[in-house]
Chain A
Amino acid sequence: MKKNVTLAYDSYRQDEVRSGLWKFVGLLIFIAFAFWTIDVLKIPIERVLSMFGRLGTMVSERLLPPEMAYAAQPKVVDSIIETIEMSILGAVIGTFITMPLAWFAAWNVTPSRLFLYPLSRAIIVVTRGMPTLMWAMVLVAIFGFGPFAGMLALVKATIGFAGKLMAEQIEAIDMRRVEAIRATGANELDVLFYAVIPQVWANWVGIIIYNWDAQLRNSTILGFVGAGGMGLYLREQISIIEYQTAMSIIVVIIVIVVLSEMASQFLRHRLY
């Protein structure tokens, strides 16, 4: 009896020592990796140490208080309205392009698995992967400054963002209804309208609203690259080192985003 207890205790100790050793090795690797990163990225250590003091003075002396009078100027208010308009139009046009794409990109009901499915999947994956701000810079180079380029950038962002979610919703539908409609001799379009859309519509509306919310977030900084909206004034104020007026625009951005998030949550809960 006593022997068994000792054996069990020994094996427990062994496990403890082994796991402790592994943790130690892991920690060592982590530390080595951290030092390697500092070396590769050329992070100045002395600046890291004095970081908090600098951030503190920056926030207390230069950022605060925000000069809200700047954001109340007519030209800035116009740009804020332009931002919201851009997000609505980009989200709406993007949604109209996304809906058929999501249908093509759903494996279970896609009209052609050989051709349309891989094509639309590729479009969704690539638009998801491409950073919206860089895409906006490219569009500005092609179409010139202004909200039109920004709107097209948001269309791209919508296809990537909503396309994946909508296709996932279609792939999760009840296939028996699709079969029932097919059994009546319906073609693919009939199947879409009478079997697929009725099942996913409620979720799709939620996605559409959520997507608008996300695009509003994106649109607030598109002006940075000249693609319309309030980001332009933010960049202007920061480049002439007027942090307090820049802060007022940041405050406006936060307020708009929080309001839109509340609105989108309210709408989504009302609809379900």
Chain B
Amino acid sequence: MTNISTIANPLRVPRDVYRRYAIFGVCAVIVLTVGKDIIIDETDWARMGTLQEMVKTALWFLPELSFFPKTVGPLLETLLIALWGTVLAVVVSMPIAYLAARNITPIKWITYPLGRGLIVLSRSTHEIIFALIFVSALGLGPLPGILALATRSLGFLAKTTAEAIENANPGPIEAIQATGANPLMVFCFGIMPQIFPIFVGNVIFQLDINIRRASILGLVGGGGIGLMFAEVMQNLQYGRAGTIVVGITAMVVVGEFISNRVRVRLI
């Protein structure tokens, strides 16, 4: 009788095993080189000070509770910026989704790449960069913040809507077309009712993410709580900064909880 441990596992082909080791090896080498670069070469350990000093600085960030009432106003402002950024994104994302859905795009070789390109541009650029461009064109305040949020989130909305349109049942669309409806009516009565639940779910998801995004826009002058954070950091009032971070975290967590609940209810 053969010992069971000497039988080669038929699922473990030697070539696969070597390949796996090779992949692991390459990954390990990359990580080690990168780690050496960042932690040893680029970091000035001598200037960082002792562990005790670091702990002391960290303790300055303990929230200063008396400052909390003053953060409520800017937090609400942040919520409003997030809300209006999302509303604007919903409005603008509709035509872009129309262009970027393969089955209904008007001229396939011009408008389809155009719509896709806009989506990639919006999705791959950080909101801070949009905020910088808008702030330099329009001045400080919540307005560039709202616009930056809208441009940032319309890509996601347009992409998911376009995908939903591509997956929509062609039956109702053809039925509406057969009545002699124009493309806009087909969109409103043939496609929109089909994708509506998915669309609303995505909008709520985007609103939830936009609350998070809106809270940092102020760091570059986009209004909201970020402005206050930048101010207190500049004045080295670290306790207040800690309060603001706690406030934002609480707001975002509550927002995410509500958004999850609502989306579960919808689906």
Q: Are A141 and B43 in contact (CB under 8 A)?
A: no
Complex Cα gap A134–B225 (Å)? 11
Q: Are B219 and A142 in contact (CB under 8 A)?
A: no
Complex Cα gap A148–B76 (Å)? 34
Q: Which secondary structure dominates chain A's binding surface?
A: helix
Within 8 Å of chain B (Cβ to Cβ): is A19? no
The one of A40, A126, A146, A217 in contact with B77, judged by C-beta atoms closer than 8 angstroms, is A40
Q: Are A133 and B34 in contact (CB under 8 A)?
A: no
Which of B30, B31, B39, B126: most chain A CB closer than 10 A? B126
Complex Cα gap A55–B135 (Å)? 10
Q: Are B124 and A134 in contact (CB under 8 A)?
A: no
1/0 per position for B143-156, CB-CB distance to A under 8 A? 10001000000000
The one of A62, A129, A142 in contact with B253, judged by C-beta atoms closer than 8 angstroms, is A129
Within 8 Å of chain B (Cβ to Cβ): is A47? yes
Q: Which of B54-62, B92-100, B167-175, B194-202 contacts A (4 or more CB under 8 A)?
A: B54-62
Known contacts: A41-B81, A43-B143, A258-B124. The answer to whether A88 contacts B31 by CB under 8 A is yes
| Number of A-B residue pairs with CB-CB distance less than 8 Å in the complex they form | 156
Measured CB to CB, the closest approach of chain A to B81, in angstroms, equals 7
Q: Are B61 and A138 in contact (CB under 8 A)?
A: yes
Within 8 Å of chain B (Cβ to Cβ): is A182? no
1/0 per position for A76-91, CB-CB distance to B under 8 A? 0000001001101100
Complex Cα gap A116–B125 (Å)? 37
Q: Are B233 and A220 in contact (CB under 8 A)?
A: no
Known contacts: A225-B219, A253-B125. The answer to whether A131 contacts B248 by CB under 8 A is yes
Measured CB to CB, the closest approach of chain A to B37, in angstroms, equals 5
Interface residues of A in 203-218 (CB under 8 A from B): 217-218
The one of A47, A51, A85, A141 in contact with B57, judged by C-beta atoms closer than 8 angstroms, is A141
1/0 per position for A220-255, CB-CB distance to B under 8 A? 110011001000001000100101001000100110
Residue on A nearest B83 in the bound complex, by CB:
A37
Interface residues of A in 123-139 (CB under 8 A from B): 125-126, 128-131, 133-135, 137-138
Within 8 Å of chain A (Cβ to Cβ): is B258? no
Complex Cα gap A126–B147 (Å)? 28
The one of A89, A138, A146 in contact with B35, judged by C-beta atoms closer than 8 angstroms, is A89
Known contacts: A41-B223, A88-B31, A238-B132. The answer to whether A138 contacts B126 by CB under 8 A is no
Which of B42, B61, B77, B229: most chain A CB closer than 10 A? B42
Interface size class of A (residues with CB under 8 A): 35 or more
Q: Are B133 and A146 in contact (CB under 8 A)?
A: no
Q: Are A151 and B38 in contact (CB under 8 A)?
A: yes
Within 8 Å of chain B (Cβ to Cβ): is A58? yes
Measured CB to CB, the closest approach of chain A to B93, in angstroms, equals 18
Within 8 Å of chain B (Cβ to Cβ): is A35? no
Q: Which residues of B contact A89 (CB under 8 A)?
A: 31, 34-35, 38-39
Q: Which residues of A contact B83 (CB under 8 A)?
A: 37
Residue on A nearest B54 in the bound complex, by CB:
A142
Q: Are A40 and B42 in contact (CB under 8 A)?
A: no
Within 8 Å of chain A (Cβ to Cβ): is B181? no
Complex Cα gap A221–B252 (Å)? 21
Residues of A at under 8 Å CB distance from B? 37, 40-44, 47-48, 51, 54-55, 58, 62-63, 82, 85-86, 88-89, 92, 125-126, 128-131, 133-135, 137-138, 141-144, 146-148, 151, 217-218, 220-221, 224-225, 228, 234, 238, 241, 243, 246, 250, 253-254, 257-258, 261
Could you show 24 A-B contacts with beta carbons less than 8 Å apart? Answer: A37-B80, A47-B139, A55-B134, A58-B133, A82-B42, A85-B37, A89-B31, A92-B31, A129-B251, A130-B248, A131-B212, A131-B248, A134-B215, A134-B241, A134-B248, A138-B242, A143-B54, A225-B219, A234-B129, A254-B121, A254-B125, A258-B120, A258-B124, A261-B124
Having A85-B38, A221-B128, one finds 18 other A-B pairs with CB under 8 Å, namely A37-B84, A47-B138, A51-B147, A55-B138, A82-B38, A88-B30, A89-B31, A89-B35, A129-B212, A131-B212, A131-B248, A141-B61, A143-B48, A146-B43, A217-B126, A221-B129, A225-B219, A246-B132
